[in-house]
A and B are shown apart, each in its own frame.
Chain A
Amino acid sequence: DTGVSQDPRHKITKRGQNVTFRCDPISEHNRLYWYRQTLGQGPEFLTYFQNEAQLEKSRLLSDRFSAERPKGSFSTLEIQRTEQGDSAMYLCASSRGLAGGFSYNEQFFGPGTRLTVL
């Protein structure tokens, strides 16, 4: 299967601990996105990478959150000093940026990592 994969699928942690999630995008996709989805809500944008460059960050991404995409392939999202309010589904998506013009830039989503902070 060559879709977007995320690891782990579930993570339970205690408040104050650090957690790290991994996302492997579709191999030919140069754009990668992280979203957070809480119960009963749609996904909320966190950050966006084009290749290895982090080009956009939402104000939702506090200084406890950091994302990297060191070689322009997989990405990691780290949350330091987790809080109960961080409990959510963290979704990764990737897309292929088309050169020139406006493209619809469909995003393909992974299965998500469900984080529970106790």
Chain B
Amino acid sequence: AQKITQTQPGMFVQEKEAVTLDCTYDTSDQSYGLFWYKQPSSGEMIFLIYQGSYDEQNATEGRYSLNFQKARKSANLVISASQLGDSAMYFCAMREGTGNQFYFGTGTSLTVIP
């Protein structure tokens, strides 16, 4: 089974609107971390936001927030007030327990329309 599933290969959003990128995960560990990365066309992976499995509050970092629903095993990324520079690939990732391996999803390509 896939550890991380991203079901939206591509998404479009109007500039200044909010967009939600979906991510579901699969683990039997009680302790895990969930991450979102942005990968522009230049190729570099940029860390956006982190959510720990024991965190009671949803993580927020500026315009990024993570909608964490533990029972549903989902960790959706919400980008508010989209900007043209947000156009990129977005990857959800998970680290289980104290392990060091990150499991990445297949990504969602986001295009912001002016």
Chain A residues with CB under 8 Å of chain B are: 31, 33, 35, 40-45, 48, 50, 55-56, 58, 89, 91, 93, 102, 104-112, 114
Contact = CB atoms under 8 A, between A and B. Distances in A.
Interface in B57-114: 91, 93, 95, 97-98, 100-107
B47 A106 contact: yes
A89 B104 contact: no
Contacts of A114: 43
Contact size range, B: 20 to 34
Nearest to A106: B47
Interface of B: 4, 31, 33, 35, 37, 42-47, 50, 52, 91, 93, 95, 97-98, 100-107
29 contacts: A31-B100, A33-B102, A35-B102, A40-B106, A40-B107, A41-B107, A42-B93, A42-B105, A42-B107, A43-B91, A43-B104, A44-B104, A48-B100, A50-B100, A55-B100, A58-B101, A89-B43, A91-B45, A93-B45, A102-B33, A102-B97, A104-B95, A105-B33, A107-B102, A109-B44, A110-B44, A111-B42, A112-B43, A112-B44
